[in-house]
Structure 1
Amino acid sequence: MDPLTPLSSLSLVADSDQAFTLRVTLARLATRTLDVQYYIWDDDTTGKLLIYRVLEAARRGVKVRMLLDHANQLGRDVKWASLDAHPNIEVRLFNPFHGRFKHFHQWLYHAPLLNHRMHNKAWIADGERCLVGGRNISDHYFGVNPASNFRDLDWYASGPIAAETRDAFETYWQSDLAMPLKTLRRYRPERAERSWQWLSRWRRSLKNYPYLFPQHEQFFVDYLAKQEAQCEQAPAVLLFDSPEKAAGATQSLMGDQLARLLDREDHREFLLEASYFIPGDDFVAALSRLRERGGRAAVLTNSLATNDVIAAHAVYAPYRRALIRGGVELHELQPNAHSMKRQVRLFRGRSKASLHTKAMVLDRREIFIGSFNMDPRSLHLNTEMGYYVVSNSLGKQVAEFIEEGLSPVNSYRLEMAGEALRWGGVDKQGKPAMLDHEPRTSLMRRWLAAFLALLPIARFF
């Protein structure tokens, strides 16, 4: 990092209630602009509550811009158009699936480009404060889904890095791939008012939901002050792909930048937490070289039981033996991970843990947290973003977060007995236990993963 890089104010956002409340707080306290950029924005309770806050900001006179990847919004154009009808809100869809190709043969010709998606996540208030990291907008990311909830991590930031984030958003917003929703569907302003009335009634009807806050402004002023008191001053750089990557431009900017960091010979420790970890031969070799130099490399990723994409696990699984032989401490998340108990706000004890974090820390000092999965899709297909930060105090915090995930009550450590894999953890009584097959999975799920591993599907990830 350039020694002249200006200092920004940053803190980690690890807890689900903190992540939700900060998004509401930034929307509630915005006075001029609110820019949001997301890969997924679900139409569930969390999604609706945050839409309520977005619309509330617009009604106060805040100019709102929403940039959403269209792949996850198919069939919801009517709902977004109702929001877009408000004079202070504009919605744009990134790399839309329809509206550009009039005939089937045109769509078929361009279909490979539609596999390139905008994976970025950013929530920016007044161009001065922002949230950037791994979380999408959905119940799964905020501890309130009955089936499964994600372990995840965001940055809260202000200062120069927030201005860089705003400028990056502007680059995407002005891209030819960002299509104004009004070109596809347009409603009169009364439609937005009807949406507001419906959302207000619906919100008042919610019972036993953890994220219902007082409406008075002082609550949010105090909450933001508490968050900013946790911030550290540190040099920070925004790493992000150009939107042209989604138009088929060949680039691996994010991957190249991170690879240069990893392959420096002065590093002695590398900790990684990644949801969809598909390292490739070069990355396995880089981790092995670190170990050969006497360093430590530890990785936490999803197990077959916690991975929400079985095919991604199937592509990752063949690398496990090479990683272990190379001296990498390889861990996979347990579906009943102890650390998730403080994250889950509803359905505690019933919902399964899953991993969505994308974080790494080198020598407990150099940190990257963002949307970038350590997989070929992030490298070659999707656009990504994140912050590279140099800080001893923040590095220690990220390392402690990852080390918590690596502990035996949260993850299985993989070992080898000959060529056979073994999963080590603790049993219900807290005693060490060793398993000889993918833990807590059905025979059918294991069979499907093994079958998918035989197929040439790596290029899709």
Structure 2
Amino acid sequence: MTPRLLLLLGLLLLGSGCATLSPETRRAAADAVGASHAEASSCTDPADAACAPVASPLLALGGQAMAASTADAPRHHVTLLDRGQDALIARLHLIRAARERIELQSFIYDTDDSGLLVLEELLAAARRGVRVRVLLDQLYGLPNPGLQASLAGAHPNFELRLYNPTFNEARTESLQYAAGILCCFSDFNRRMHTKLLLVDGQVGLTGGRNIQDRYFDWAEGYNYRDRDILVAGPAAVAMADNFEAFWSFERSREAYALRDVAERLAAEGRARPHHLLDPGRGKSPRVLAMQALAADGAAVWERLAPLTLAVGEVDFHADLPDKHVGEQKAHEDASIAMRDLVDSTRSELVLQTPYLVLSREARQLFRRMHRREQAPVVWVSTNSLAATDAFPVYAMSHKYKRLYLRELGFRIREYKPYPSDAPIDVAATGALGERAASLPIFGSGSAGSASGPVPLKRAGVRVGLHAKSMVIDDRIGVVGSHNFDPRSDNLNTESMVVVHDREFATALRASIELDMQPRNAWAIARREKPPVFSGLSYTLGRLSEKLPIFDIWPFPFASSFELREGCNPVPPEDPTFYECHEDVGAFPEVDLPLKTVYTRILTAFGAGLVPIL
């Protein structure tokens, strides 16, 4: 880093440190919010359908499960939401059906079609008397001071708070981001990765999805294959308690108290309407269709009822914000629960994670499991380099493939960027229209970036895995936000739902196994042994892997394999594996010059970043 850039960052740090909000500005901002609240309109006409919640068989499941539960025998209804369109409909409908309160947490909240649609429904709920509280991580949660100022004064029933604003501002500029890493690395990296929508304290929805088009099959270029779970019943009480802990935590700040938001409010004396919230703005046909469907409780139930199961015990495990207090590891409730569940595996574990970078504790756990006299089979569904949205993280995973396959006994399947039958609504993405050929990430025209998706050799509706789930012995199913990586263990706050039910576990396993089918994923296995010097190559590769920074051995242990036509899948230890599988290289579909060298460079220099990836 040049001395000039260091000086610039130093000045920025000094300016940011001194940019605290004066008591006068804070009072003026609070007065502006109060004045706007006094003028806010409410929907009180009982004859107006827009002023009443919609009838909802889905929300009613919560009350039914609560009534049927006892302390010793809890009852729940759970809905597995694999498809993005189902997940968006469920959110919008539950917001429309709310009668008392709504709590929403998200790591990312964008102002695209889905984000504005959810926001519009939340504000409508507030106007009809529902208490709405929205808690977003500051880095990527509506980082627009003008929009946040407008939301702060939108209605007295609507409250917005931001988690961990390092520089006490709504927007983090690029230089501030760099300065935050340099000056306050520990604090800056402690993010609220939890995702939750809780309605009337009875029905909660959580999982991997943020509020952004690419999580709901609405992005034209790149969409996530993700998974949520809707839970109706007593587990919602634990969700409410966890939300309250975050809402009242010292790192959660009112939007109007952030410096760039407060100065705007104080200067204008009112919370001015923002153009993104204009009810008269033009809406696409898909937005209008989604709004109409969300208002039809019977149609929503008809769509989601086949995905809904009646079950008994359901646990909600979530980190507390105290995880972000001090330097010591604390309150890693989700990580501890996850490791305990993995350790309880006796015969088979099916795990799905977008980022296969294991913490030291996780590697030790899987190594102990693999050394058992009756070692359980561990299946892992994860991203290929062609599918991932995080290039450096994949490079780090690539470095340890030998360890995963040989020492931990993983059976790895890497997701293809163009899976044959992913649960993605291709028509909803908009990628099949006239604009498809010019989309920035659609097909081979993308230049890629150092951290995002890489360019590919051919075009298509591109998908990246983002689901975080596991199935233990076909008896327990887990869906949550935890990526099973060091960042989830040590830095982010995470949550997960654990369903103790064989029928649910079977359904979840079928969902993950679909993603591991040869038409949707490549099998990862050891390269076919060369006729000479195979032992020497293996030994040198293993030694190179253990170097703390550089991984210089040019002959990787593993490769990707495509099932040959007319063959059935067999495990790598089967004598016919190499006859039935074609070695398609370490990075199939990727269109990068010297791609092996490029990835190796990132692998080498990424080794020191394992704790924060």
Whether the TM-score (by the shorter chain) exceeds 0.5 is yes
Tell me the CA shift for residue 227 of structure 1.
3.3
- Partners of 1:68 and 1:399 lie apart in 2 by 31
Amino acid of the residue matched to residue 314 of structure 2? A
Asked if 1:231 corresponds to 2:383, the answer is: no
Q: Which of the numbers 254, 270, 282 marks the counterpart of 2:349?
A: 270
Distance verdict in 2 for CA 1:215–1:377, change over 3 Å = closer
Q: Which moved more, 1:219-228 or 1:89-98?
A: 219-228
Amino acid of the residue matched to residue 459 of structure 1? P
Helix, strand or coil for the counterpart of 1:214?
Answer: helix
State percent identity of aligned pairs. Answer: 26
Helix, strand or coil for the counterpart of 2:590?
Answer: coil
Equivalent residues in 2 for 1:413-428 (5 A)? Answer: 413-417=523-527, 418=529, 419=538, 420-426=557-563
Q: Which moved more, 1:20-29 or 1:250-259?
A: 250-259
Tell me the CA shift for residue 194 of structure 1.
5.9
Distance verdict in 2 for CA 1:214–1:296, change over 3 Å = same
Amino acid of the residue matched to residue 190 of structure 2? H
- Partners of 2:272 and 2:565 lie apart in 1 by 52
Distance verdict in 2 for CA 1:197–1:284, change over 3 Å = closer
Q: Which residue of 1 aligns with 2:506?
A: 396
- Partners of 1:426 and 1:142 lie apart in 2 by 30
Q: Which of the numbers 213, 220, 240 marks the counterpart of 2:297?
A: 220
Distance verdict in 2 for CA 1:228–1:163, change over 3 Å = farther
Contact 1:36 1:67 in 2 (8 A): yes
Larger RCO, structure (CA 8 Å, separation 6 or more): 1
Q: Which moved more, 1:251-260 or 1:39-48?
A: 251-260
Asked if 1:88 corresponds to 2:88, the answer is: no
Asked if 1:162 corresponds to 2:236, the answer is: yes
Amino acid of the residue matched to residue 583 of structure 2? M
Q: Which moved more, 1:412-421 or 1:371-380?
A: 412-421
Contact 1:68 1:93 in 2 (8 A): yes
- Partners of 1:32 and 1:93 lie apart in 2 by 23
Distance verdict in 2 for CA 1:92–1:197, change over 3 Å = closer
- Partners of 1:305 and 1:334 lie apart in 2 by 7
- Partners of 1:194 and 1:299 lie apart in 2 by 45
Asked if 1:448 corresponds to 2:584, the answer is: no
- Partners of 1:276 and 1:135 lie apart in 2 by 15
- Partners of 1:215 and 1:397 lie apart in 2 by 26
Contact 2:309 2:504 in 1 (8 A): no
Tell me the CA shift for residue 6 of structure 1.
2.3
Aligned residues: 451
Q: Which residue of 2 aligns with 1:243?
A: 321
Asked if 1:257 corresponds to 2:337, the answer is: yes
Q: Which residue of 1 aligns with 2:88?
A: 20
Amino acid of the residue matched to residue 339 of structure 1? D
Helix, strand or coil for the counterpart of 1:453?
Answer: helix
Amino acid of the residue matched to residue 380 of structure 2? V
Distance verdict in 2 for CA 1:211–1:121, change over 3 Å = farther
- Partners of 2:275 and 2:123 lie apart in 1 by 9
- Partners of 1:287 and 1:207 lie apart in 2 by 49
- Partners of 1:235 and 1:389 lie apart in 2 by 6
Distance verdict in 2 for CA 1:114–1:178, change over 3 Å = same
Q: Which residue of 2 aligns with 1:458?
A: 610
Larger of the two Rg values belongs to structure: 2
Distance verdict in 2 for CA 1:393–1:146, change over 3 Å = same
Tell me the CA shift for residue 299 of structure 1.
0.1
Amino acid of the residue matched to residue 302 of structure 1? N
1:51-104 Cα offsets, whole Å, 9 max, x none, are 11111211212111100000114741221221221222110000012228xxx9
Q: Which residue of 1 aligns with 2:209?
A: 135
Contact 2:96 2:294 in 1 (8 A): no
Tell me the CA shift for residue 414 of structure 1.
0.4
Contact 1:237 1:388 in 2 (8 A): yes
Distance verdict in 2 for CA 1:163–1:228, change over 3 Å = farther
Helix, strand or coil for the counterpart of 2:561?
Answer: strand
Tell me the CA shift for residue 277 of structure 1.
1.7
Q: Which residue of 2 aligns with 1:117?
A: 191
CA RMSD of aligned residues (A): 2.8
Asked if 1:99 corresponds to 2:248, the answer is: no
- Partners of 2:146 and 2:277 lie apart in 1 by 17
- Partners of 2:90 and 2:231 lie apart in 1 by 11
Contact 2:475 2:501 in 1 (8 A): yes
Q: Which has the higher strand share?
A: 1
Helix, strand or coil for the counterpart of 2:92?
Answer: helix
1:166-190 Cα offsets, whole Å, 9 max, x none, are 1111110010110011112255897
Amino acid of the residue matched to residue 13 of structure 1? L
Equivalent residues in 2 for 1:49-448 (5 A)? Answer: 49-73=117-141, 75-86=143-154, 87-99=156-168, 109-184=183-258, 185=261, 187=265, 191=271, 198-203=278-283, 206-207=284-285, 212-214=290-292, 217=295, 219-224=296-301, 227=304, 230-248=308-326, 249-251=328-330, 252-264=332-344, 267-280=346-359, 282-291=361-370, 293-325=374-406, 326-340=408-422, 342-344=424-426, 345-346=428-429, 347=431, 350-417=460-527, 418=529, 419=538, 420-426=557-563, 433-444=582-593, 446-448=596-598
- Partners of 2:81 and 2:203 lie apart in 1 by 14
Amino acid of the residue matched to residue 93 of structure 1? L
Distance verdict in 2 for CA 1:221–1:90, change over 3 Å = farther
Helix, strand or coil for the counterpart of 2:85?
Answer: helix
1:184-206 Cα offsets, whole Å, 9 max, x none, are 22558975766586144332xx1
Q: Which moved more, 1:271-280 or 1:447-456?
A: 447-456
- Partners of 1:181 and 1:38 lie apart in 2 by 15
- Partners of 2:142 and 2:132 lie apart in 1 by 21
- Partners of 2:236 and 2:160 lie apart in 1 by 21
Amino acid of the residue matched to residue 451 of structure 1? I
Amino acid of the residue matched to residue 342 of structure 2? L
Unmatched runs of 5 consecutive residues or more in structure 1:
none
Distance verdict in 2 for CA 1:196–1:294, change over 3 Å = closer
Amino acid of the residue matched to residue 559 of structure 2? R
Q: Which moved more, 1:22-31 or 1:255-264?
A: 255-264
- Partners of 1:242 and 1:282 lie apart in 2 by 20
- Partners of 2:221 and 2:490 lie apart in 1 by 31
Tell me the CA shift for residue 309 of structure 1.
1.0
Unmatched runs of 5 consecutive residues or more in structure 2:
1-70, 170-175, 433-458, 530-537, 539-556, 568-579
Tell me the CA shift for residue 158 of structure 1.
1.1
- Partners of 2:483 and 2:381 lie apart in 1 by 12
Contact 2:106 2:193 in 1 (8 A): yes
Amino acid of the residue matched to residue 304 of structure 2? Q
